[in-house]
Every structure is written in structure tokens, then in C-alpha cells.
Copies of this chain bind each other. A is one copy, B any other.
Amino acid sequence: DIFNTIMTHFDKAQVTQDLTGQHWVITAGPTMEAIDPVRFISNHSSGKMGYALATAAIARGATVTLISGPVQITAPAGAKIIAVKSADEMLAACQQSMITQADVFIGAAAVADFKMKAACDQKMKKQSDTDEITLTLVKNPDIIATLAQQKRAKTLVGFAAETQNVIEYAKSKLERKGLDIIIANDVSRADIGFNQDDNQVTVITKDKTWSPDKTTKNALAGQLVEFINEYALQTSIS
């Protein structure tokens, strides 16, 4: 059973170099969608989870490309960092990084669902006779669904940050986007998730649901990298 195998591995303290020769591509942080030259729409993602995953994969020997939105945290030593702002830029950087199929893609970035239909070249002026304005937004590309469709990585792992019906939404996301694994968390809880050092998630595959204990993002990252690697091994055997 894959879950027991993984739990056994967690007991081992030493970090093996079993990901040597593998290319993992990880996105992290928020995206920033321009409204005009000074304003933007973004979100509260700190990038900590994605950076911790990159660190954990590097520790086990993987070559890691970390495609990161604007964050205020230190880059993991040894990662190839590609800094991006918008979702469009992030998708382009992902595709460019996976011209050769990667082993694992983890979409840990909090990608904006929407961008401005037309960003303004000049700062929008507040008119004294206007009490309301409307911003028309259009859908951003669905980065991980696009990468899944194009088979850019052997194993694709997504995140689902939700505030309600967390598991239900995550399962629907797994199927709809053609992912292997989805990691769901409840961002309505103040003690975990966005901008916190701790996280508690539920890991969902087609067959299984696993909820590791609440722990630091760094410790959780090690468990998730282990899980993803075991999943990939099982999948390639069966």
C-alpha cells in the first residue's frame, strides 16, 4: 500500500539523494495582475509553501526550477529561480522550462483567476463625478490544466486553496484539470495557510485521501516531496 510505504519512510531521518537526475518544476507565490501602471490585483500568498517544497526536493537531489511571483522571502540555495509577475508570464516560463518533459510539476503558486480585460497604460484618474467604477476582468489561462493537457510533466501536483467545501472542490479540481495529486487547504483558518509558517493540508489522489498532522511548512514540504516521489514510483511500476 502506497500510504504505508510513505509513512514508513517518514520515520527515517536521513535524507537520501533519490531524486538525483530528476527535474522538478515548482511555482510559488502570488501573481500580480496590472490594473494600470501603479495599481494591481494580487493575493496574500507568501510563497513559503512553494519555496519549502523546492528546498525539500533539492535536499533529495532533484534539479529544481522555481518559478516565482513577487515574494519577500529568500530563494532556496541551488534552485534555478525565474521571477515572474502575471499569470501569463508564469505560464510562459513553465512551458519554456518544460520543453523537455519534467519529472514533477507542482503548482504551489496562488495564480490569479482573473486579469484585467485591458490594463490601462496611464494611471486611471478619479473623476469627481464618478462614485462607482467597474473593472472588467477576464479569465487567466489555467496554468496547471494547460500543462497537464500538454503533458509537460510526468506527475502533476496542484494546490486548492479554499474557504468552504474544501475537499469537495479539491476533488472536482483534480478530475477537471487532469492532475495526479491535489493538495487542499482551508485558507479561512487564520492559523494555517496564507502567510503563516504552519500548514495543514489534505492530499488527494484518484484513489486516496490523506491528512497529515498540522506542522511547519518546512516539515510538511518534506512529507509532500516523499509522497509525490512514492506516487510517481508506484505509477511508473503499475
Interface residues of A (CB under 8 A from B): 35, 37-45, 72, 110, 112-114, 117, 122-126, 128, 130-139, 161-164, 169, 176, 187-188, 194
Contacts and interface: CB of A to CB of B under 8 A. Distances in A.
A137 B126 contact: no
Contacts of A131: 138-139
Given A135-B134, A137-B135, A164-B122, A38 B113 contact: no
A41 B38 contact: no
Contacts of A43: 38-40
Contact of A137 (B40, B42, B44, B132): B132
A38 B194 contact: yes
A48 to B, nearest CB: 15
Given A133-B114, A135-B134, A187 B42 contact: no
A39 B131 CA distance: 22
B135 A135 contact: yes
A110 to B, nearest CB: 7
Given A38-B194, A123-B163, 14 more contacts: A37-B188, A40-B42, A41-B41, A42-B42, A113-B124, A113-B126, A122-B188, A123-B161, A123-B187, A130-B139, A131-B139, A133-B136, A134-B135, A135-B137
Contacts of A45: 38
A35 to B, nearest CB: 7
A95 to B, nearest CB: 21
